[in-house]
Amino acid sequence: METVMENEENFAEMFERHYKEPEKMEPGRRVEAPIVKLTPEWALIEVGGKGEGYIPVSELKDAEGNLLVKEGDKIRAYFLHTEEGEMRFTTKIGTGPAARAQLMDAFNNHIPLEGTVAKEMKGGFEVTISGGMRAFCPFSQMGIRREESKEAYIGVSMVFYIIECGRRDVVLSRREIVEKERQEKVAALKETLKEGAKVRGVVTSIQKFGAFIDIGGVDGLLPVSEMAWGRTEKVSDLLAAGQPVEVIIKSLDWENRRISLSLKDTLPNPWDTAAEQWPSGSYHTGVVSRLAPFGAFITLGAGVDGLIHVSRLGGERRINHPEDVLKAGQSIEVRVETVDLENKRISLIPAALSREEDESTATMQKYQQQEVADEPAMGSLGEQLKRQLEKNRIDE
């Protein structure tokens, strides 16, 4: 009898020593637990001595309905309440008593959460986070480009971090997420992009000095000088934001995040056919593109300029500067004197002056030919002396 009583006392001591009343779980309490069973409706998680918790399987599927987890996976969840003796959990930020605890947990532990951009407001966007709660994301924290259409983000679901969590206001940010995505894209592009390669891109921004082109997650600069073989006055005359383009990679500087691009290198080089289009001696009408102290540049075609030296502009009259006789934008007929393909130079002369010179040359040649034609009639000086001597002998 004593032995039985002793065993009962020992059992009572052991029970008292090892059994503890399950700690009461407050709404919003976070747990990290393995999935022990999956059913069509529920995912059961092991919550230690507290038993099992239930999470709706729908929370663990993607937009197409594909299950994203399997038994044994450990997931993060938040306690909601007890229903019919079962502990209910969620993986999403909710509403009610649990919401504030969940938000603070996400803020303190840098946990990302999903939200949908509801509308644009002063200084940023209103974002609806899980459970219908409203939050605010400043434009500067969205990670979007200044020129991007803000309307395009309305209704879009995104992932955010909480950067401020007050009693009334929750402030979100995507900058860290966007930068991480960019770094991942850069790492991938480093393996594939090469200088000289042709790539497809989209114009993201127009500037006075050029345009920025998205070539797969990173921006490259297309300088105005690389847009066309001809002179480009305004970038907006050639490109617009959102326009797809094909460009050549001129240089890659990953360390300084600089990628230089060229659009004109995808186009035929007009100098390749310059000798055929503007051969020496041919006449053409061009446009004065630029005036310099040493001469006037004349645009003959896209990307091809010729030069009239200042000494050839005044004819017989000496001029101090090409602007004394020409102005930018003026049309002028010219004759090609020489074509230097190696140095990409074409020497020109005003057509009027050329014709005057041709006329003078023709007159001179005609005169010289007349002189040559008259010489046999008169004879050479030696022949004339010989004839005179013969005549003197006859007279004697």
The predicted pLDDT at position 389 comes to 61
Residue 244: phi and psi, rounded to 5, are: -75, 140
Question: Helix or strand or coil: residue 182?
Answer: helix
Confidence of residue 271 (pLDDT cuts 50, 70, 90): confident
Question: Helix or strand or coil: residue 64?
Answer: coil
Confidence of residue 249 (pLDDT cuts 50, 70, 90): very high
Mean pLDDT of 94-109: 73
Predicted TM-score (pTM) of the model is 0.56
DSSP notation for 208-275: TTEEEEESSSSEEEEEGGGS-SS--S-GGGT--TT-EEEEEEEEEETTTTEEEEESGGGS--GGGGHH
Residue 184: phi and psi, rounded to 5, are: -65, -40
Per-residue pLDDT of 43-87, as tens digits, reads 999 887 667 899 989 888 887 888 889 999 998 888 877 888 888
The predicted pLDDT at position 336 comes to 92
CATH 2.40.50.140 holds for 22-91: yes
The predicted pLDDT at position 198 comes to 92
Per-residue pLDDT of 347-394, as tens digits, reads 999 988 878 776 666 566 666 666 555 555 445 555 666 666 665 555
Least confident of 23-37, 71-85, 131-145, 236-250: 23-37
Per-residue pLDDT of 17-47, as tens digits, reads 444 444 567 777 778 889 999 999 999 998 8
Confidence of residue 104 (pLDDT cuts 50, 70, 90): confident
Strand 198-207 and strand 345-350: the pairing is unpaired
The predicted pLDDT at position 18 comes to 41
The predicted pLDDT at position 19 comes to 41
Instruction: Domain 104-178: state its class.
Output: mainly beta
For residue 2, the 8-state DSSP code is H
The predicted pLDDT at position 102 comes to 75
Q: What does the buried/exposed string (b/e) look like for 23-48 if buried means 16 or more CB atoms within 10 Å of the residue's CB?
A: eebebbbebebebeebeeebbbbebe
What is the percent of the chain with per-residue pLDDT over 70, rounded to a whole number?
Answer: 81
The predicted pLDDT at position 49 comes to 65
CA-based angle 191:196:200, to the nearest 5? 75
Cα(364)–Cα(369) distance, integer angstroms: 9
Residue 245 pLDDT more than 90?
yes
Q: Do domains 104-178 and 195-266 have the same CATH topology?
A: yes
DSSP notation for 71-83: TT-EEEEEEEEEE
Strand 86-90 and strand 113-121: the pairing is unpaired
Cα(268)–Cα(88) distance, integer angstroms: 68
Structural element, H or E, at residue 374: helix 351-378
Cα(215)–Cα(204) distance, integer angstroms: 10
Per-residue pLDDT of 338-349, as tens digits, reads 999 888 899 999
Residue 2 pLDDT more than 60?
no
Pick the CATH number of 271-354 from 2.60.120.10, 2.40.50.140, 3.40.50.720, 3.40.50.620: 2.40.50.140
Residue 210 pLDDT more than 80?
yes
Residue 257 pLDDT more than 70?
yes
Cα(26)–Cα(12) distance, integer angstroms: 30
Instruction: Domain 195-266: state its class.
Output: mainly beta
Least confident of 21-35, 109-123, 152-166, 276-290: 21-35
What is the percent of the chain with per-residue pLDDT over 90, rounded to a whole number?
Answer: 26
Domain borders along the chain are 22-91, 104-178, 195-266, 271-354
> Chain-centre distance of CA 184, in angstroms?
17
Which residue shows structure tokens 């309490």?
A: 29
Average pLDDT, the chain: 81
Confidence of residue 186 (pLDDT cuts 50, 70, 90): confident
The predicted pLDDT at position 137 comes to 94
Per-residue pLDDT of 293-333, as tens digits, reads 999 998 998 888 999 999 888 777 788 889 888 898 899 99
Distances (CA, A) of 187 to 127, 216, 217, 218: 31, 12, 11, 11
Residue 135: name the closest of 146, 119, 154, 153 by CA.
119
The predicted pLDDT at position 221 comes to 93
For residue 197, the 8-state DSSP code is -
